[in-house]
Amino acid sequence: MDQEIRDFYAQGFEEEQLRVGGNGRLEFLRTQEIVRRFVGRRAQVLHVGGATGVHAGWLAQDGHDVVVVDAMPSHVEVARACPG
């Protein structure tokens, strides 16, 4: 991965933008709505580009088995600490 891209994601804006108000929060809630509509009660979910696990957390709480894959090792470490 290009160093400039790594530097950008290392700043940590990815998770914050989806949890805080505005368009990011709307994106987060809309993603939940769409995924819940199409995913069964218990599924195996592979989240490619899953960043810090912002979606993996609620998917695991919904009872799914979630694996996060991301190009940033620091994101994967944060995701690993998510419940479930």
| Tens-place pLDDT, residues 14-24 | 666 666 667 77
Q: pLDDT tens for residues 33-64?
A: 999 999 988 999 999 988 888 899 999 999 99
Phi/psi of residue 74, nearest 5 degrees: -65, -35
Q: Which two tokens stand for residue 62?
A: 């919904």
pLDDT of residue 7: 85
Q: What is the pLDDT of residue 5?
A: 83
Give the pLDDT confidence score for residue 52 in this predicted structure.
Answer: 87
This prediction has a pTM of: 0.78
* Residue showing tokens 């994101």: 75
